[in-house]
A and B are shown apart, each in its own frame.
Chain A
Amino acid sequence: MTTYKSTPSGQGIFYLFVLPFAVLTAVFGVWPIILSIGVSFTASSTALKPNPTFVGMANYLAILADPVFLASLRGTLIYTALAVISTIGLSLVYALFLNSALISRGRALFKLAIFLPVVTPDIAGYVVWRWLYDQSFGALNEILRAVGLPAFGGLAFESTAMISILVAELWHHVGFYVVIFLANLALCDKGTAEAAEIDGANAWQKFWHVTLPELKPALMVNSVYALIQYLKTFTVVAVMTKGGPNDSTNFISYYAYQLFDQGRYGEATAMATILFAIVIILALGMMRVQERGAKT
């Protein structure tokens, strides 16, 4: 933008404007991250002391030899993959559905209904879901019983715990992705779709060759955002399963937090650093892939 070279009155004041933002970003962002990476190389017992003992890669070696951590890492990645795919898939389909000519009135209400859980305090939502899933008094199994279906294992079994928290998370998050897709769809050029129709494209071809390319901005934002969000999955676990049963939902965030709670700072921060690296690598990789896709 505008530049006034060598007019100090124009320059200095922007440092003043940015100062509070810079301080908060530094104190509650950059500094803690650096600190955390630093702590991951020190002995837990001395981490908070003035002169922590440097232990090199010991914490990293310890957690990499920890079967619980390795299982947790695997679980986190599997869960993230499932969650990203189902979030993007469901929100895309539902946004296209709401945007179609089939829904002529009441679109705003349906949008509101799906978005409401997004602004619901996540804790309250997950507390309710926990009871809905309950084996003895849960509403969900009551419904299944009423229609004669076998009971759902819910949070009580290793085999169903992950899918259960995924459903609760989808309930909480999908609305956000739906409105982003809808916002993108509202920007789409109707003329292009009509031209494709005149050219003889069927519904599928129209979707594949016209709508989907136009949705690229939303797809990109949504997938990167979902990736970052699900890799960090925490609250739902803390409320609903505490990592169980038998560590089947003990994702890295939660596991690291437990270690932190036990004062095992070095290992906890080593895990945080590894997760941070995974988030950055995957997010950047995803952006790179999509940018390349955009060019062709």
Chain B
Amino acid sequence: MASVELKQVFKSYDGKHNVIHGIDLEIQHGEFVVFVGPSGCGKSTLLRMVAGLESITGGEITIDGKRVNDVHPRHRDIAMVFQDYALYPHKTLYENMAFGLRLRKTPEDEIRKRVMEAAQLLRIDHMLERKPSALSGGQRQRVAIGRAIVRQPKVFLFDEPLSNLDAQLRNEMRGEIKKLHQRLGATIIYVTHDQVEAMTLADRIAVLSGGHKMQYGSPKAIYNTPAALFVAGFTGSPPMNLCDCEFADGQAIFGDTSVRLPDTLTRKLNGRSKVKFGIRPENISLTPQADSVAVTANVVITEPLGAETLVTFQVGNIELVARCPADFDTPPGAGHEIHLSRQHMHVFDAETGLALGRGDLTA
């Protein structure tokens, strides 16, 4: 277990253009941190810099307070799990897991003990003499995780470990990785493009975009108070409804419909007249709620999901998606009154995309 710290980390491949722009992050002992963002956002590059597989152009990375910029990967005491498993194809599962320990001249019985423990934990102890080619994708990824566990490293690095698995297996493995973390209490940095994975696994999430850190915080904080449009649009499924709106006299105007914003928000707009307005689908309901505002809407499409139905409403000149009860049966084209929770309204600066505030927050 260890802490990891990134201080003003930069990365450039050609010496001219940065792909990572001065990122600061601290990761505490035993914390599970997820780097999330779309492909090309720099999350894998950042992870590989922690691993030592990419050089650090500027700034500093420390593990347990010790600067590791110039430390070879094999001396950083880290273990990594790769998206394509990266098992040694010519070695048995046992030898795959034992390789790192053998290189460190660990005594044979200690190796045996650790490999068996990890194998039992991952339920692969009955196939240790097989070669990776005889395994399914999920089993291979278990071996890759086992190979990391036996090393008992200071930090575990996971690079999109579930992306090559099918959806069902992915959910299953996700649960196992979470259990594993609770059991080992290890420091984990985990990279994924899947926000659900990030939300379910992380103690804290770092949302990255274009090599910039957009927000760093608990899943709750990321979800409830996204610091930027990008974060709001990236989290949640379906994501937050976001739309352009004119603002005048405390009212957000959507064509022929207007909605009165809470005073706390109005104050934060500082006289702006164009903003981005946001509200999550679960904060739109069919019945009046405490401090909600009613608007008339037309049903555009309904998407029944079984437990609930997603309904797209036309409100003025915008469309809003709402989570509705499964028995919602108003046909498309028909009108319906909907209620927007004023506490859960977000506004963002139209130019910078930064959050200006949420309805219930005065700070």
Contact = CB atoms under 8 A, between A and B. Distances in A.
Is A–B contact present in the complex under a CB 8 A cutoff?
yes
Contacts of B72: 4, 7, 9-10
A10 to B, nearest CB: 7
A10 B55 CA distance: 12
Nearest to A10: B72
B61 to A, nearest CB: 13
A3 B54 contact: yes
A6 B72 CA distance: 9
Task: Tell me what chain B mostly uses at the interface: helix, strand, loop, or mixed.
Answer: loop
A287 to B, nearest CB: 27
Interface residues of A, number: 8
A5 interface: yes
Contacts of A7: 70-72
Interface in B36-56: 52-56
A2 interface: yes
Contacts of B52: 4
Contacts of A4: 52, 55, 72-73
Interface string A1-36: 011111101100000000000000000000000000
Contacts of A9: 72
A153 to B, nearest CB: 59
A2 B70 contact: no
Contacts of A6: 55, 70
Interface string A212-231: 00000000000000000000
A2 B73 CA distance: 11
A1 to B, nearest CB: 9
A3 B53 CA distance: 6
A3 B48 CA distance: 11
Contacts of B55: 3-6
A12 to B, nearest CB: 13
Interface in A257-295: none
A72 B56 CA distance: 60
A10 B71 CA distance: 11
B63 to A, nearest CB: 16
Contacts of A10: 72
Contacts of B53: 2
A6 B55 CA distance: 9
A4 B56 CA distance: 9
A236 B296 CA distance: 91
A9 B72 CA distance: 9
Nearest to A5: B55
A228 B242 CA distance: 63
Contacts of B70: 5-7
Nearest to A9: B72
Contacts of A3: 54-55
A7 B54 CA distance: 12
Nearest to B75: A7
Nearest to B57: A5
A121 B72 CA distance: 51
A3 B70 CA distance: 11
A10 B72 CA distance: 8
Contacts of B73: 4
Nearest to B52: A4
A279 B301 CA distance: 68
A7 B76 CA distance: 13
A40 B354 CA distance: 72
A76 to B, nearest CB: 45
A9 B52 CA distance: 14
Nearest to A7: B72
A47 to B, nearest CB: 47
A3 B73 CA distance: 11
Contacts of B71: 7
Contacts of A2: 53-54
18 contacts: A2-B53, A2-B54, A3-B54, A3-B55, A4-B52, A4-B55, A4-B72, A4-B73, A5-B55, A5-B56, A5-B70, A6-B55, A6-B70, A7-B70, A7-B71, A7-B72, A9-B72, A10-B72
Given A6-B55, A9-B72, 10 more contacts: A2-B53, A2-B54, A3-B54, A3-B55, A5-B55, A5-B56, A5-B70, A6-B70, A7-B71, A7-B72
Q: Lowest 6 A-B CB distances belong to which pairs?
A: A5-B55, A7-B72, A6-B70, A3-B55, A2-B53, A4-B72
